[in-house]
Structure 1
Amino acid sequence: MKNFMFKRLSFLGLTGLLFASSCMSDLQEPNQIEASKSQNEVAFAEANVSDVNARKAVERNYFERFTNQISLIPVEGFIPDYGAPAYYPGAGLGNSSHMGKAYSFLNQFATVGAEGLETKGRPVTQFYGEELAALGLTNIPDEVSSITTDGKGNSVWFKNINNQVSPVGPDRMEFVAEVEIINGTGKFEGATGTATVKGHFNPLNGKGMSTISGRIIY
């Protein structure tokens, strides 16, 4: 991709995220959020149904929308026209249907394959371990490539399954990814589910947006 930005883009710091959240209006998708609230809940007993104290997990719709700041960190063999190989960590501010205002952290690694640009999830803690620990999120497995949290002890952990990246022009890259929900904290502890991520970002300045829609059980 021509005129690809070589230098590392600055990270969106945790302080900046917290400041922005105080000024941000709700970014909820009304139809998605309402569907989540009004849907018929499917209960799954976690223990013997005769145990009145058994907590029940419920399957629900899940939706997020985030504004993101992505960074480019080239590695040896970097090809400017493709923007790879390189790490693409990022942080975002937005809204989750089950948390309200929330923060997101992610990490991807891009390579050049037979069909062009390919990306795979990498440990989110590689670049955001300190920020996540400051929010009380620790002992995160390497397979977790992105996390959404409200900063109040609740978080959802995602494992990247499959990515498709399509350069549309010098200032826009679009992506679609399949992810698996493999755990969480707070009310999402033990959560499972699947979802689809769609979005885009500008490789010249790292700014972009993304949505996640799917089903979650917690």
Structure 2
Amino acid sequence: MASEGCEDAKPEETKEEDGAVVARSPSITQEEPGREQLFNLVVNTFLEKMEEAGSYQKFASCYNRLYKVQPELTRCIYDQYIYHLQTSFREEISDLKNEGNLEALFRTLDKLVEEAKQRETPAWRPSGIPEQDVRSAVVPYLLKQRKILQKTLKEKEEGNAKLAEMVLAGRKKITDLQKEIQKRKEEWQAIAQGSREMANTLDEHH
């Protein structure tokens, strides 16, 4: 019978191999289950929801004619469909866990939580309010940076003021030199003029 072969195609139970998620919910005996256990529990609970009776009734209503003629075959097809869907989903989750190294990350998070319980000083989020904790951590840093920038700006302004004074002093010196040169030039021109006049006078007497 087709229905018998169909029933044999679905295994009674599935086991976890190479990190694959098992089909049934794991038994959690710890008071505080680890993150990996919680993750598997959520996944398996979702998979189990696929097998609820209401889901089969909806499936049968979509294939009402087949269900009326061969209800056992309809049920068999539904069971195979759910089984292959669950298997595909478990394989995808297993690949994601392996690629993302989720098991190691879960263990690291669990370890951090356990270590945090032994801390006497507040954690990075002592208040539990992200906005307030970020503000308390970032604002002092920004104020410190602003103080440093203000000090740097003041030093630059003082340096620029000194350079401006040096430039003005240099310009004044250049102006004074130009005046001195002009004065010496005029003096030399006067002396030269006097010498020429004296020379002309001597020539006239001879």
Q: Report the TM range for the smaller structure's normalisation.
A: under 0.3
Q: Whose strand proportion is higher, 1 or 2?
A: 1
With structure 2 as the length reference, what TM-score do the two structures score? 0.17
With structure 1 as the length reference, what TM-score do the two structures score? 0.17
Q: Whose helix proportion is higher, 1 or 2?
A: 2
Structure exhibiting the larger radius of gyration computed from Cα positions? 2
